[in-house]
Structure 1
Amino acid sequence: MDHSEHHHHPPAATWTTAAQATLHCLTGCAIGEVLGMVIGTAAGLSNLATVILSVALAFVFGYALTMRGVLRAGLDFRSALKVALAADTISIALMEVLDNTVMVTVPGAMDAGLADWLFWAALAGSLLVAFLLTTPVNKWLISRGKGHAVIHQYHQGH
């Protein structure tokens, strides 16, 4: 018996699909990243502690946004977590490496205060770099039925 008829086909790996997947992932990453940078900067944490906090929060919010959608589609918590881990781990990890590298390498960005334009300009630039360099990776993953493609079946009709 051919089981292929029972499986949802992955979305087409177009640049639009990849950009949408990356923007979805970037939303959660950005919430966590900005929150971590703001908390770390306001609390006077070291650069390393601020980066660790930002990365941790980016994963939490990135996974949470994906889980929210698949939980709404009817999955139980454990299954939703597995889908989120499969869908977002590579994308979030790459984004975090990229945007934190930008933040750490822009002179003065990590030491700038929250009222300083340099902090916000570097953070916005870091998220743009993360989006631009992660989109091709997501396109490649989607073309192989991986990454964001694993949640495609839960978006049908939503």
Structure 2
Amino acid sequence: MQHETHTQHVQRHEGYAGHEGHAGHTGHAGRPASWAMAVQATLHCLTGCAIGEVLGMVIGTALGWGNTPTLVLAITLAFFFGYALTLRGVLKAGVGLRGAIRVALAADTLSIAVMELIDNGVIALWPGAMDAELGDVLFWGALAISLAAAFLVTTPVNKWMIGRGKGHAVVHQYHH
């Protein structure tokens, strides 16, 4: 597969509004991105982050680790799974590993970082959440609310990035 530049991609799809069920390519070349596009990008990010976050919290809590090592593991796994989901799709599109890693880093880093900041901030500030056990409603409730809050804050960030041809706008050329 020949790699085209972002500019070539934008020129090829200028005015195209029916890209595989997406809300069109309104996020390219500085034009405003749609909220639907931003929500889709954030849900993609949330999926990887939630897998890593939940897995990290469960492992750290089950092993009786303290708050700091549990948070470090959860954040590390959130980035790992967030990047892995993007890598899977880009590699499937025929991009080499090195190029796919560059695309994943460009597409997901800011989104995952914001999501993790909000998610872990809510957990850290929620009274008793860091000390809750796996069987506690507080553990799962605080985790669910923190992920929802992260989604709400990260969606406008993704909308802003897509509108500037950054973030998940970079990945759209591989969704053919």
Equivalent residue for 2:20? Answer: none
Equivalent residue for 1:77? Answer: 97
Percent of aligned positions that are identical: 66
- The residue correspondences of 1:5-84 to structure 2 (distance < 5 A) are 7-9=8-10, 11-12=25-26, 13-84=33-104
- The count of residues paired between Structure 1 and Structure 2 equals 154
- Cα distance in 1 for partners of 2:141, 2:6 equals 49
Choose from 142, 145, 152 the match for 1:125: 145
- Shift in CA distance, 6/15, structure 1 to aligned 2, threshold 3 Å: closer
- Cα distance in 1 for partners of 2:63, 2:86 equals 29
Equivalent residue for 2:132? Answer: 112
TM-score by length of 1: 0.94
Equivalent residue for 1:155? Answer: 175
- Cα distance in 2 for partners of 1:114, 1:4 equals 47
- Shift in CA distance, 92/6, structure 1 to aligned 2, threshold 3 Å: closer
Choose from 154, 159, 163 the match for 1:134: 154
- Cα distance in 2 for partners of 1:101, 1:5 equals 35
Equivalent residue for 1:92? Answer: 112
- Cα distance in 2 for partners of 1:107, 1:23 equals 27
> Cα deviations across residues 11-42 of structure 1 (Å, max 9, x unaligned)?
32100000000000110000000000001111
- Cα distance in 1 for partners of 2:162, 2:117 equals 21
Amino acid corresponding to residue 148 of structure 1 in structure 2: H
Choose from 115, 131, 144 the match for 2:164: 144
- Cα distance in 2 for partners of 1:5, 1:70 equals 15
> Cα deviations across residues 34-76 of structure 1 (Å, max 9, x unaligned)?
0000011111111111111000000000000000000000001
Amino acid corresponding to residue 34 of structure 1 in structure 2: V
Does the 8 Å CA contact 2:6/2:170 hold for their aligned counterparts?
Answer: no
- Shift in CA distance, 90/110, structure 1 to aligned 2, threshold 3 Å: same
- Cα distance in 2 for partners of 1:5, 1:109 equals 43
RMSD after superposition:
1.7
- Cα distance in 1 for partners of 2:155, 2:60 equals 28
TM-score by length of 2: 0.84
- Shift in CA distance, 131/155, structure 1 to aligned 2, threshold 3 Å: same
> What runs of 5+ residues in structure 2 fail to find an aligned partner?
14-24, 27-32
